[in-house]
């Protein structure tokens, strides 16, 4: 059988990783991700779960081997397990190496076991603080106990949990060691993320929120021995081992260290827009060929290849000189993380 040529961008990077937003809706309103009063897309504009299946399957047929489901909060999408069940066939065939998701954890108590049953093996959970009051403040609508119960359910179901923590100056910079200690006790990996200049968040100021992970790592090194690891998981994180505990921590640093040279991923929105770079506005509308040529998959493949041919070398995020460079008008929840 002839296999189609893989997706290679203009900088010789093979595109193996697709992040897919299945909804722009979320049951939290995290201050660095959403405005408090969001206007969500009309449901008619969203791709159906069957359309998402066709799109993801097209990418998998072109060599994508890792699929991460995001949102908004993906588990609030009605009928979402039918989509995971459909994607499981690609795991069973061997075409897809990993099916995973990023979640706020609020729905995990309900969905952890079904996710494990269809072949999900690890998940990322966004968690920025272990203080209930601060958690309610940063998420606006969230309850910490609900998330901790969800994480416990994921662990009980056999899912490997990685905690994603957005580093926020003056908010959780004093909790770094307690977060590390908690993750070590629970057996979770931990990744810190620099806040990115995305979305109009009203009164929230990116410069006020921004905490350099270079500074955070220096603070960790005053008490811990950190060893750089060569490991890569297909994402932008760079990893280190804490020698005192053996645990792995990651750093995603779009501001202090541009990670674009090894970028192998693209992002699909819940409306079918393909963003070739999180930090650039250029995108390709895949909903049009998906809907106008349902019986001509070659039309969709041509659109995907045309998009990859426009993938830029990198983003332009910059907080230097106390101004925000490269800011994106769209919210992180729209692009899908």
- Give the per-residue pLDDT at 203: 44
pLDDT 10s digits, 115-150: 999 999 999 999 999 999 999 999 999 999 999 999
Q: From CA 204, how far away is CA 198, in angstroms rounded? A: 11
Please provide the average confidence, as pLDDT, over all residues in the chain: 88
Asked if residue 9 is part of any domain, the answer here is no
pLDDT of 316 higher than 80: no
Annotated binding residues for [4Fe-4S] cluster, written as ranges, equal 26, 30, 33, 260, 263, 277
- Give the per-residue pLDDT at 5: 87
pLDDT of 247 higher than 80: yes
Asked if residue 258 is part of any domain, the answer here is yes
SS3 letters for 253-275? CCCCCCCHHHCCEEEECCCCEEE
Asked if residue 1 is part of any domain, the answer here is no
Q: From CA 111, how far away is CA 124, in angstroms rounded? A: 14
Asked if residue 3 is part of any domain, the answer here is no
pLDDT of 302 higher than 60: yes
Q: Any idea which of 58-67, 154-163, 276-285 has the lowest mean pLDDT?
A: 276-285
**Domain count across the chain:** 1
CA angle 163, 20, 9 (to 5 degrees): 105
Per-residue pLDDT band at 317 (split at 50, 70, 90): very low
Asked if residue 230 is part of any domain, the answer here is yes
CA dihedral 115, 74, 46, 302 (to 10 degrees): -70
Instruction: Give the mean model confidence (pLDDT) for residues 282-288.
Output: 94
The residue segments making up the domain with residue 317 are: 17-335
* DSSP category for residue 165: E
Annotated binding residues for GTP, written as ranges, equal 19, 68, 102, 162, 265-267
- Give the per-residue pLDDT at 278: 76
Instruction: Give the mean model confidence (pLDDT) for residues 157-167.
Output: 96
- Give the per-residue pLDDT at 255: 59
Instruction: Give the mean model confidence (pLDDT) for residues 226-247.
Output: 86
Q: Any idea which of 31-35, 195-199, 301-305 has the lowest mean pLDDT?
A: 195-199
CATH number, domain at 80?
Answer: 3.20.20.70
Instruction: Give the mean model confidence (pLDDT) for residues 23-34.
Output: 89
pLDDT 10s digits, 88-125: 999 999 999 999 999 999 999 999 999 999 999 999 99
Q: From CA 250, how far away is CA 28, in angstroms rounded? A: 24
Annotated binding residues for S-adenosyl-L-methionine, written as ranges, equal 32, 72, 126, 196
Asked if residue 5 is part of any domain, the answer here is no
Asked if residue 2 is part of any domain, the answer here is no
Annotated binding residues, written as ranges, equal 19, 26, 30, 32-33, 68, 72, 102, 126, 162, 196, 260, 263, 265-267, 277
Asked if residue 12 is part of any domain, the answer here is no
Strands 189-194 and 160-167: parallel
pLDDT of 178 higher than 60: yes
CA 6 to chain CA centroid, nearest Å: 23
């Amino acid at each position: 059988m002839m296999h189609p040529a893989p997706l290679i961008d203009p900088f010789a990077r093979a595109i193996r990783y697709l992040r897919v937003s299945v909804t722009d809706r979320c049951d939290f309103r995290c201050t660095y991700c959403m405005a408090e009063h969001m206007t969500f897309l009309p449901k008619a504009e969203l791709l159906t779960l069957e359309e998402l299946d066709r799109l993801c399957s097209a990418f998998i047929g072109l060599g994508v081997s890792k699929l991460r489901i995001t949102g908004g909060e993906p588990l609030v999408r009605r009928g979402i397990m039918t989509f995971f069940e459909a994607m499981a066939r690609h795991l069973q065939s061997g075409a897809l190496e990993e099916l995973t998701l990023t979640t706020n954890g609020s729905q995990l108590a309900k969905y952890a076991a079904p996710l494990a049953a269809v072949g999900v093996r690890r998940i990322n959970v966004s968690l920025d603080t272990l203080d209930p009051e601060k958690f309610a403040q940063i998420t606006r609508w969230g309850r910490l106990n609900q998330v901790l119960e969800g994480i416990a359910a994921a662990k009980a179901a056999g899912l490997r949990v990685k905690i994603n923590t957005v580093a926020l100056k003056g908010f959780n910079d004093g909790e770094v060691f307690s977060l590390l200690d908690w993750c070590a006790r629970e057996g979770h990996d931990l990744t810190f993320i620099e806040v990115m200049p995305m979305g109009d968040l009203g009164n929230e100021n990116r410069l006020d929120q921004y905490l350099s992970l270079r500074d955070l790592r220096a603070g960790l090194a005053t008490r811990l021995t950190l060893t750089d690891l060569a490991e890569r998981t297909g994402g932008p994180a760079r990893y280190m081992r804490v020698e005192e505990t053996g645990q792995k921590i990651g750093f995603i640093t779009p501001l202090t260290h541009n990670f674009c040279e090894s970028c192998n991923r693209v992002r699909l929105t819940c409306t079918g827009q393909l963003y070739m770079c999180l930090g650039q506005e250029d995108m390709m509308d895949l909903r049009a060929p998906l809907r106008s040529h349902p019986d001509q998959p070659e039309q969709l493949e041509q659109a995907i290849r045309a998009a990859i041919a426009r993938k830029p070398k990198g983003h332009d995020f910059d907080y230097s000189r106390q101004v925000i460079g490269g800011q994106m008008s769209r919210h992180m929840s729209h692009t899908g993380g």
